[in-house]
């Protein structure tokens, strides 16, 4: 049973990973729904640029994303310096740096899932609701969102799972500080770098796989229930 005896640092890394992934998914979802609807339903000048900008982190190496965040939100960055001088907020190498890094990297996945889900909603149903006197907001909340909900839930789970496995941007922008920014991937990396800690790395790998798998299974069960109700 020694294999399952988690150390305090391991428990901290697990708890921190779940917190970061959950906060990231919760913050990104409403914004992603807005962008997903905009890109799925509206045609406007520069749409290609907005779509490309949203998806850009997908094609960048995560370390590059972390470096850009460090330049922008670091102590000498134009946003980071402003936040520290006027509000006393230091973003880089903090818990919220880990959240922001995961948020930027996972956001395109959520937007893509939501966009595809909204595109699959029959626009004639939305037009019928509008004809019957429903406002745009009412149509969106009562027709579009319920019909696109499976895709929205999938986007939420994708954000959670991607955040759970985020490494490159996090270690560059948030660092690898035990108890503050050391998530499971960083703890696995540290264990692999230290001779004799192979068992710790294996434990954390198994736990991260189980958490991600449970999230995906939960998403599938939820979506199947939605399908049955509809």
User: How high is the pLDDT of residue 215?
Assistant: 86
Give the residue-averaged pLDDT of 160-170: 92
Tell me the pLDDT of the chain averaged across its residues: 89
Sequence spans of domains, the chain: 2-229
User: How high is the pLDDT of residue 69?
Assistant: 94
Token pair of 152, please? 């929205």
Task: Tell the burial category of 117 from Cβ atoms under 10 Å away from its Cβ (0-12, 13-18, 19+).
Answer: buried
User: How high is the pLDDT of residue 4?
Assistant: 66
User: How high is the pLDDT of residue 205?
Assistant: 92
- At 76-116, the pLDDT tens digits run 888 988 888 888 888 999 999 999 999 999 999 999 999 99
**Residue that has been written with the tokens 């982190």 in this structure:** 57
Fold topology of 2-229: MetI-like fold (1.10.3720)
Query: CA angle, corner 37, sides to 68 and 51, nearest 5?
Result: 35
CB 19 within 8 A of CB 181: no
3-state secondary structure of 91: coil
């Amino acid at each position: 049973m020694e294999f399952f005896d988690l150390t305090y640092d391991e428990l901290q890394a697990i708890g921190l990973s779940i917190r970061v992934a959950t906060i990231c998914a919760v913050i990104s979802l409403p914004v992603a729904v807005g962008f997903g609807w905009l890109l799925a339903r509206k045609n406007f000048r520069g749409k290609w640029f907005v779509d490309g900008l949203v998806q850009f982190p997908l094609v960048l190496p995560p370390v590059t994303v972390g470096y850009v965040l460090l330049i922008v939100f670091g102590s000498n960055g134009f946003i980071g310096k402003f936040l520290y001088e006027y509000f006393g907020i230091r973003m880089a190498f903090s818990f919220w740096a880990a959240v922001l890094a995961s948020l930027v990297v996972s956001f395109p996945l959520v937007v893509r899932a939501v966009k595809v889900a909204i595109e699959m909603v029959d626009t004639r149903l939305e037009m019928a609701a509008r004809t019957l006197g429903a406002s745009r907001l009412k149509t969106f909340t009562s027709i579009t969102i319920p019909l696109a909900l499976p895709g929205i839930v999938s986007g939420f789970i994708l954000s959670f799972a991607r955040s759970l496995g985020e490494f490159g941007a996090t270690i560059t922008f948030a660092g690898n500080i035990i108890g503050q920014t050391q998530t499971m991937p960083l703890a696995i990396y540290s264990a692999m770098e230290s001779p004799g800690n192979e068992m710790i790395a294996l434990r954390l790998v198994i736990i991260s796989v189980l958490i991600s798998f449970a999230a995906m299974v939960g998403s599938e069960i939820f979506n199947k229930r939605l399908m049955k109700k509809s």
